[in-house]
Structure 1
């Protein structure tokens, strides 16, 4: 039996034997490096190339030199389930406990799972995640933050990890590198609780005079860097982050990874945090937009994109690197802090032409920007209206690296590689959206069905966003009515019934649904 290896595997083997001079080592152009830049709470209308009024020249440059999608979706309207779905190829509502994770959640993706980084790691890629994680860490609760914390990213396919364990508004407010808290002093151990205060430490509700940013709802517990968070924490003083420096640190760690792996195929998942609360721009960006901290951190995010592109150019990797830019869910303005996000909007509309927002079953919850650039391979300035979901990344990259994934694994992911790089105008036939409370919607062609749910019409913790929940089913024509204003159920009852049945089939499926592919 003959065994065929990819060309870069032969190069690695021969080089290790000293058979290839250093100057001859190169990467295989058919297996590009992959950099996935994942924004947090960035709306469809937040980028100037998508109609926004905040300058984003570097992100716009990606679109100018790459492929812009106008019909792309995150799998869910909140961060944990959208990330879970993207990394596993399975909608998060299939697994209990994958809602918005608390800061002390244990690992939601367990060793042995089929994952996006695992697929690429098996193909010979070096893999890294830098930035927000929010998928839990460790095996047992409570997590001991003073020892090795695992399982985590390294146990599911990443070779390197530099993380915000959850989000910036949750404790612990420290970085974790691989399995350990960064800069932790053993004499000052970290203790975390989501039930009671520790050692009588100051909190936002008891000590508002210590705050440099006032909370609006929730977010009134332990104080770090003059900002009160969700949850209580004591210890770890030397390990605490400064919010203003987070973006620069993530850039630094990302570029270090790129430099270390410039002679290997690599996958970098850069999971930015800028637009998620608390929004605290570095002083270089504070006040530059006149639209408050939310506007300023969008510019800061754009700077991050530019810094990564510049690093790839300096390393002569631009032509062999696929860059994907997208967001984990739709936008929200007041998400817990009085930072003037709504008051300073002016003519900028983060929601674009869509209804709802983060948390919502309506379009603004999951309809997100998606830009793909691959110099020399993707036609500059191209656009695609193909229906595509982030859950498709797993099987698409498996196809790129010639790997077969079992039908009972990554069951919601589809190979949309050709659509992703603009070689095919159509992609999915349909997809499922997930709002809070696991309320599902089904999109097929021009139409969208939202299942009935008797929950509140507004997100109940004060963000002023419509949930999209109604006691009766909803049916919309997204092409004619992108704002989802006219419920067509009474006019098209048979269409509604068909969409309802199709959603039921997806919900009950246990393996890859081949019939659902375009």
Structure 2
């Protein structure tokens, strides 16, 4: 054997061993943005808010253009961690409020599956699945460590959360490090704080132990009344092209989120973990452009906002990136639901899918994603809410909507209201290529994308409404009508086809009736503010059932 051939053979052997190692126990990173608008990431066509790190990962991975979530925070997180439709859990309605005695029902959650595979499990950021008792908090539900907050929202610098009950405000601190209040973080910007904690966890990780981490940012959920949106002023100053001051701050919040994701990818690269990692990015629901918890996000051109079952509320920005994906750098229009991530990521971690709860609604899509095979999913039950009598279903290309939420107040188009009369900057593909994520990706991608290829993928993933002269037939379910849309050709839900395809309507209504048999009714929203009052716990939001005052510490339940 010649010396030259030996060198080549050794190089191939090293490459093969690295690839074999990469297929064993990959590190899993699940990034959840909060109330992010469809149009507020560059890869969907928006120029107003540059997101170079997010875009770099999306283009070099798989953009999931038909990724569906629930329409509110708690219901989406319930579906994510259980792999079950939220209506099977009684979590299909309003999100959990502070001081409310309601929590995710007992059952095995995603982090517990990964613990079974030997992973170290971390939750950074938002929980929002119940915290009236310590055994409802992350440490009792499968996470080895939690650094974050229990309730729906916090302010971005002082970590306070204010709720109004009986015409009185109740304010408490809500940031914890493994159960203990993290007062030392006050004054630091929360997006940076969560990123820094995740980065330090990566830096300190034992490379012989696989890592499962959910980073659930509070960006860009609105915080307390009076200062719902917050970001560093130097970042806000980068968006002087945006006239509306609230939208300008929102843009800065998304920019900081993007910076954080770039820092995470850099940390993985420096630690040598990037070639053996899977990164999933999702939004928990659409942006509330107007109305309750308004954050000035844009779901353009989609109809509806958060807490509606139109596309703007339930079609979330999402992608997956990993060197383990054989067929990447593409836009997928296959149906994917938030429940799919439990079995899909478990399969990616080489778990025996037969060990997963057979009653899951989620479908293992790992092979379909890796090899660009046809998706095994052809329908999605978007939601059934027995209180509002609102339901929606995707079946192949069709979408059926019955009933409405909030009396139909937010069933129209709002995303363009924050985009009017603004001279947007041009799309900067060089910034994507040279972003921290872009640079790190090129080290593990043997055929890195070029800037023109970015533009091609972006054009494919950008949704367009029907042409102005196209036939349109408006439908508003608030009037009692049943609305039917052909979503691949009518993503903006402008042309109701119910009267033209009555057999499709009948079939889908029967499917809703069948699904309805498995519905678990929503529990009453019992607000126990007398016992949960933060002043009883040194002005922190604290589990209060079986606790009477601040002497009730976090038990060792990890």
TM-score normalised by the chain length of structure 2? 0.68
Equivalent pair of 1:171/1:192 in contact (CA under 8 Å): no
Out of 98, 102, 124, which is 1:103 matched to? 98
Equivalent pair of 2:303/2:312 in contact (CA under 8 Å): yes
Out of 360, 378, 381, which is 1:429 matched to? 378
Equivalent pair of 1:41/1:328 in contact (CA under 8 Å): yes
Equivalent pair of 1:119/1:398 in contact (CA under 8 Å): yes
Equivalent pair of 2:156/2:190 in contact (CA under 8 Å): no
Instruction: List per-residue Cα deviations over 1:27-71 (Å, max 9, x = no partner).
Output: 663321100110111122111111112100000100222111111
RMSD, aligned CA? 3.5
Q: What's 2:64 paired with?
A: 69
Displacement over 6 Å in runs of 4+: 170-173, 190-193, 463-467
Equivalent pair of 1:82/1:329 in contact (CA under 8 Å): yes
Alignment partner of 1:161 is 2:146: yes
Q: What's 1:332 paired with?
A: 288
- Cα distance in 1 for residues equivalent to 2:507 and 2:23: 45
Alignment partner of 1:266 is 2:211: yes
Alignment map for 1:97-176 (pairs within 5 Å): 99-106=94-101, 108-110=103-105, 112-139=106-133, 149-168=134-153, 174=159
TM-score normalised by the chain length of structure 1? 0.73
Equivalent pair of 1:330/1:351 in contact (CA under 8 Å): yes
Q: What's 1:37 paired with?
A: 31
- Cα distance in 2 for residues equivalent to 1:311 and 1:299: 19
Q: CA deviation at 1:280?
A: 0.7
SS of the equivalent of 2:235 reads: coil
Alignment partner of 1:508 is 2:482: no
Alignment partner of 1:497 is 2:441: no
- Bigger helix fraction: 2
Alignment map for 1:306-317 (pairs within 5 Å): 306-317=262-273
Query: CA separation of 1:83/1:468 partners in 2, compared to 1, >3 Å: closer, same or farther?
Result: farther
- Cα distance in 2 for residues equivalent to 1:43 and 1:435: 23
Equivalent pair of 2:157/2:186 in contact (CA under 8 Å): no
Out of 248, 270, 274, which is 1:318 matched to? 274
Q: CA deviation at 1:452?
A: 3.2
SS of the equivalent of 1:325 reads: strand
SS of the equivalent of 2:252 reads: helix
Q: CA deviation at 1:168?
A: 2.6
Instruction: List per-residue Cα deviations over 1:215-235 (Å, max 9, x = no partner).
Output: xxxxxx45789xxx9xxxxxx
Q: CA deviation at 1:151?
A: 3.0
Identify unmatched segments of 5+ residues in structure 2.
1-17, 175-179, 223-227, 243-247, 418-474, 521-558
Q: CA deviation at 1:80?
A: 0.8
Query: CA separation of 1:262/1:195 partners in 2, compared to 1, >3 Å: closer, same or farther?
Result: farther
Q: CA deviation at 1:310?
A: 0.7
Alignment map for 1:174-323 (pairs within 5 Å): 174=159, 194-195=165-166, 197=168, 221=169, 239=183, 242=186, 245-263=189-207, 264-277=209-222, 278-290=228-240, 291=242, 292-323=248-279
Higher relative contact order (CA 8 A, sep 6+): 2
- Cα distance in 2 for residues equivalent to 1:472 and 1:307: 48
Q: CA deviation at 1:170?
A: 8.2
SS of the equivalent of 1:163 reads: strand
- Cα distance in 2 for residues equivalent to 1:101 and 1:287: 35
Q: CA deviation at 1:434?
A: 2.9
SS of the equivalent of 1:119 reads: helix
Q: CA deviation at 1:494?
A: 1.1
Q: CA deviation at 1:451?
A: 1.7
Equivalent pair of 2:126/2:152 in contact (CA under 8 Å): yes
- Cα distance in 2 for residues equivalent to 1:192 and 1:359: 20
Instruction: List per-residue Cα deviations over 1:310-347 (Å, max 9, x = no partner).
Output: 110110111000001110001122455787x38xxxxx
Query: CA separation of 1:327/1:126 partners in 2, compared to 1, >3 Å: closer, same or farther?
Result: same
Q: CA deviation at 1:294?
A: 1.0
Query: CA separation of 1:327/1:428 partners in 2, compared to 1, >3 Å: closer, same or farther?
Result: same
